[in-house]
Structure 1
Amino acid sequence: MSAEFTGPPWATDWTKLAAGYRDTLPAAVRDLITDAVTELKTSRHPYRDDHLDTTRVSIEPVRSTDPRGAHILYFDRGHGWLRYTFVHRTAEPQIVIEQVFWQ
């Protein structure tokens, strides 16, 4: 009997809009996004900042009244952020990145 692997690294998917915007950014910013997403994908839980390098990224819920809903991952000292949700499935939990912003 084999057990399903349900921990980090988490599977990640991007909406077309988020991936399209990410791809228009300069290479240095795309590298920052890759680093931030890697930090998130390897975290113990995508909705908590424990075991994250909080000098590089931070997270918070979009709405404090919905702590299991969409979250924001800040990167590049707050110059950029990603909006994502975590779909907690038994066989393959997944992070879905819905929106990216950088200034």
Structure 2
Amino acid sequence: MTDEFLGPPWQMDWRLDALADRETLPESVREMVDEARAELVTAKDPFFRGIDADADLPKTMYVEPVRSTDPKGPHIPFFDNHRGWLVYTFVPRVEDPQITVEEVFWQ
């Protein structure tokens, strides 16, 4: 066991209802969801803290906390110019840190 905080790529899990919602989306939208997923699991800091922390994301995607008063709580990456989003939480455990997708939406 190590005392160091592990880095990317992060593990990602999906709530079953979120995964089912993803499967009902059109193929082109599922590809955008997969691109958003790839950005999340490879991000240095899945909380995207700091000024311009999401500067490396595609121009049609950005991440913000669900509530500004809870910066380590659930976050929302918006994609497809705000037409879709994921709600996820990040558990920064020393062993097995993990991102959990709680909701997927696209309109």
Q: TM-score, with normalisation over the residues of structure 2? A: 0.88
Match of 2:94 among 84, 90, 98: 90
Q: Please give the alpha-carbon distance, in whole angstroms, between the structure 1 residues aligned to 2:8 and 2:78.
A: 20
Write out the 4+ residue segments of structure 1 that deviate beyond 4 Å after TM superposition: 1-5
Q: Look up the match of 1:64.
A: 68
Q: 1:2-60 deviations in whole A, cap 9, x for unaligned?
A: 78771101100000110000000111100000001101110100011346324132110
Aligned residue runs from structure 1 range 13-52, under 5 A: 13-48=13-48, 49-50=53-54, 52=56
Q: TM-score, with normalisation over the residues of structure 1? A: 0.91
User: Structure 1 stretches of 5 or more lacking a match?
Assistant: none
Q: How many percent of aligned residue pairs carry the same amino acid?
A: 50
Give the number of equivalent residue pairs.
103
CA RMSD of superposed structures (Å):
1.9
User: Structure 2 stretches of 5 or more lacking a match?
Assistant: none
Stretch deviating more after TM superposition (32-41 or 47-56): 47-56
